[in-house]
A and B are shown apart, each in its own frame.
Chain A
């Protein structure tokens, strides 16, 4: 298995633009998580899905953030409009039981 695949690896965008981050989880994993990592706040859970259904989105910072999982092999995290304070590394992770497998992350820079 290729692991959790995220794209793009790096994204630089201007404030106000829409940004879409993509994730392909490991086949067979029922859970998918989106985390954000910054120096100040560490890894923060934004939202997670179980069997493609959003379960807990209490970590989504604002209405500008949205996430979808249209099928078991694909999820997106969208920020619209983006702001400089959204700059961070965004990780997707999937799991079947208790331990998570993380992707390599998308480094987002909003200028």
Chain B
């Protein structure tokens, strides 16, 4: 069966350290993978996209890697700050039965940065 698993429901990291979140998938062949941030009571907000032929993408303090052999993406936040505390969702861009791409989401990891 198809699955998208994020490493843990909750992750606590000391301020200033690097937070690393994991997204593993099975029985998907995604064209791309995205990461979103969700704050309580709000909708997810797009952060980064990485395509299947890309190994790494960076944006300010964020870095994403994508290994299609391992079927895994890693999401890093360097020099973490309390304001980075949120739930982070990975999402796979997959081809639907109707030929269009659609996003399928993991269940998310709740990240807390401890001052």
Contact = CB atoms under 8 A, between A and B. Distances in A.
Interface residues of B, number: 23
B61 interface: no
B34 interface: yes
B41 to A, nearest CB: 7
Given A100-B46, A102-B43, A104-B42, A42 B96 contact: no
A102 B107 contact: no
B32 A98 contact: yes
Interface stretch (B12-20, B67-75, B77-85, B98-106): B98-106
Contact of A50 (B44, B97, B100): B100
| Majority secondary structure of chain A interface residues (helix, strand, loop or mixed) | strand
Interface string A92-109: 010000111111110000
B5 to A, nearest CB: 11
B41 A104 contact: yes
Q: What interface size band does chain A fall in?
A: 20 to 34
A49 to B, nearest CB: 11
Interface string A24-48: 0000000001010000011101001
Interface of A: 4, 33, 35, 41-43, 45, 48, 50, 55-56, 58, 91, 93, 98-105
Interface of B: 32, 34, 41-46, 49, 89, 93, 96-98, 100-108
